[in-house]
Structure 1
Amino acid sequence: MSQQVQSLLFLKPGQMMVSSVPTLVTTLLGSCIAVTLFCPRTRFGAICHAQLPSCGSPAGCSHEDPSHAKYVDCAVMMMLKRLRAHGVADKELQAKVFGGADMFEGSVKHPGVGSQNAEMALQVLNREAIRVVRQDLGGERGRKIIFHTDTGEVLLQRLGKSGVS
């Protein structure tokens, strides 16, 4: 049984959050990626809205710098670090991945940023052995998602072909 929702949050591009407080988090995605993580035992939920695949830093991602949440690889690792600090084991996590639309025409030889974001999210989750239980990736249409941090439920609405990023 879900607790009563304590708060509502609109997640902007480049943001992430981890919470044990029941929160409804909504965001709009085009080429960006949202990764949700949920632990049924602790009822901790986490979500990011990442814009680019990787920070590309030779030193790796800064898990302390909030501006790095705009990168898929950094954002996922930042969420994992915070969840682990709360006693969540990786094997307990359920991941869901959304977005990665290629909203603008690209070529087969050079995948668009949406495809690159989707690929990076799945690579990082696979590398960290996080189970992906649902994904809705690619295509040419944006998405609106609503994430329930206390249940892990994600409601998805596909948007008309428009300028969502």
Structure 2
Amino acid sequence: MQVNFDASPEANLYFDRYFNCNAVKILPGEFYATSNDHLIVTVLGSCIATCLFDPANNVRGMNHFLLPRDDTEKSILISESARYGTYAMELLINEMLKLGAKKNQIVAKVFGGGNVMKGLIHNNIGQRNVDFAFEYLKKESIPVVASDVLSDYPRKVYFFEEDGLVRIKKIKALHNTTILDRESEYRVRLKNATIDNPVDLF
């Protein structure tokens, strides 16, 4: 099965009544880049969301990804697992460049990686996702200007147009299993996936 990181579909566009603005919600395995005033929203457990912003050209983007394999799966090289995070990052950056962003002006904010999925706490999947995000951004010379990672709670992330502002709502009590179910399904989907067409940055 080929891995599928999708630009967030129009079906995820909605009007956020609390913030009184148009918004787009991205789910695990999706990304969204824009030069308009849409609020970008996602909910994270063990997954990572990287919010990228070029303030000079007013281009923003967010992805929502998970490394599909943990350290206990000895038959799989960790470098192979990291390809999925790399792919998610490159897709987002390329989409932003198409909208007029300049790579040397992009800054990053990183969120997520919480230990919220049963059975994965001892595998450090959240920590591995966080480590990957910071290592990738360092390698690409994209400075991380803010972050809120790890701990043991899910987060709702709101990425605004104004100066790349991000607000985080920490979800201390889960009233249903939707967040965990989405990430578990996403992880299973990635487990046997392949990347047939890797993306190169330009």
Maintained 8 Å contact 2:107/2:144: yes
User: Which of 5-14 and 139-148 deviates more?
Assistant: 5-14
Secondary structure of 2:163's counterpart equals coil
Question: Which of residues 67, 87, 96 is equivalent to 1:83?
Answer: 96
The reply on whether 1:132 has 2:147 as its aligned counterpart is: no
Question: How many angstroms does 1:150 deviate by?
Answer: 5.4
Amino acid corresponding to residue 133 of structure 1 in structure 2? V
Flag the structure with higher helix content.
2
> Which residue is 1:157 aligned to?
169
**Aligned-partner Cα distance in 2 for 1:124–1:6:** 32
Corresponding residue to 2:112 among 93, 99, 120: 99
What does 1:13-162 align with in structure 2 at a 5 Å threshold?
Answer: 13-52=28-67, 71-103=84-116, 104=118, 106-107=121-122, 110-111=123-124, 113-149=125-161, 151-162=163-174
Structure 1 CA distance for aligned equivalents of residues 63 and 98 of structure 2: 17
Q: Distance in 1 between matches of 2:92 and 2:161?
A: 13
TM-score scaled by length of structure 1: 0.78
- Report the Cα distance in structure 1 between the residues aligned to 2:146 and 2:163, rounded to whole angstroms: 14
Query: For 1:68-124, what per-residue CA distance to the aligned partner results, in whole angstroms no more than 9, with x for missing partners?
Result: xxx4221111111222334422221110000001114633xx42x211111111111
- Equivalent residue for 1:65? none
What stretches of structure 1 move > 6 A for 4+ residues in a row?
none
Tell me, what secondary structure is at the counterpart of 1:72? helix
Measure how far apart 1:161 and its partner are: 4.6
Q: Secondary structure at the match of 2:43?
A: strand
d(CA) in 2 for partners of 1:86, 1:45: 9
The CA deviation string for residues 22-75 of structure 1, in whole angstroms up to 9 with x for no partner, is: 111111100011000001111000100112268x786x96xxxxxxxxx42211
Cα 1:87/1:21, change in 2 over 3 Å: closer
Greater C-alpha Rg:
2
Scaled by the length of structure 2, what TM-score is found? 0.65
Greater RCO, 1 or 2 (C-alpha within 8 Å, sep 6+) = 1
Name the aligned partner's letter for residue 43 of structure 1: N
| 8 Å Cα contact 1:53-1:117 kept in structure 2 | no
Percent identical: 28
Deviation at 1:151, TM superposition (A): 3.0
Structure 2 segments unaligned to the other structure (5+ residues): 1-19, 70-77, 181-202
Partner SS state of residue 164, structure 2: coil
